[in-house]
Amino acid sequence: MDELEILKKDWDKDRANFKSFSGEEIYPMLQRKSSSIVKTLFYISLGELVFWLLASILPYFLSSTIREKLEVSYENPWFIAVNIFSYAVILTFIYLLFKSYKTISITDNAKRLMEGILKTRKVIKYYVIFNLTMIFLSVPVSFYMEYQDNPDFHQMISEASTAQMFMVYAVMVVVAAIFLLIVWLFYRLIYGILLKRLNKNYDELKKLEV
């Protein structure tokens, strides 16, 4: 049980005593807890960046087949642009989280702390939406690039019947849906739990403001 919960129990036992130190005792606890949560989110974002870097680099060195395909893809300026853009967004997200952490750590005002929490929630919300959108688009884009760069695949698709093409599109939709679900569950589990705690701190701060 954390300090805030213990303090709340004391409040239930003696509300008069609680009111005399609520502003001095509760706010620092909420600040420390919020700072710790945002710091954890920052470290998770760094871990995610390392994961995607390894996922992009390791296959190149571990598989000659993938290396050949990647070398062909690297000749496509759109492929390079999308990759640069994606990593730029991740780095921006990491920077904004670090900025939120520093702001929340040093603020001495409940209103500014609430604003910092709201900004953190928005950053994470937009970041998750961006990643889910990129994953959704990656399946048809990968299909198109394979169609353009792989002569055998190009010929196979060109000669496919309507029923076969329907199956191909159906598989694309299913693969995209499964991938999206897995990533959404990951964000829901990791970021969702921490955001829930951050929201709880925000609600406690609103009570203090009242």
Provide CB contacts within 8 A for 121, sequence distance 6+. 195, 198, 199
The residue assigned the tokens 């005399």 is: 20
On whether the CB atoms of residues 35 and 57 are closer than 8 A, the answer is no
Residue 42 · residue 198 · CB < 8 Å: no
pLDDT at position 18:
42
| pLDDT one-digit tens code per residue, 184-194 | 888 888 888 88
pLDDT above 70 for 52: yes
Contact, 19 vs 8, CB < 8 A? no
State residue 209's pLDDT score.
63
Q: pTM of this prediction?
A: 0.70
Q: Phi/psi at 63 (nearest 5 deg)?
A: -135, 120
- Is the CB of residue 30 less than 8 Å from the CB of residue 205? yes
- Residue ranges of alpha helices (H) inside the chain are 3-13, 15-62, 64-73, 77-106, 110-149, 151-158, 162-209
CA 15 to chain centroid: 40
Q: CA 165 to CA 168: how far, in whole Å?
A: 5
- Higher-pLDDT residue of 21 and 148 is 148
Residue 7 has pLDDT above 60, yes or no: no
**108 touches 23 (CB < 8 A):** no
Mean pLDDT of the chain: 77
Query: For residues 97 and 120, what is the distance between their CA atoms, to the nearest angstrom?
Result: 7
DSSP state for residue 76 in the 8-state scheme: -
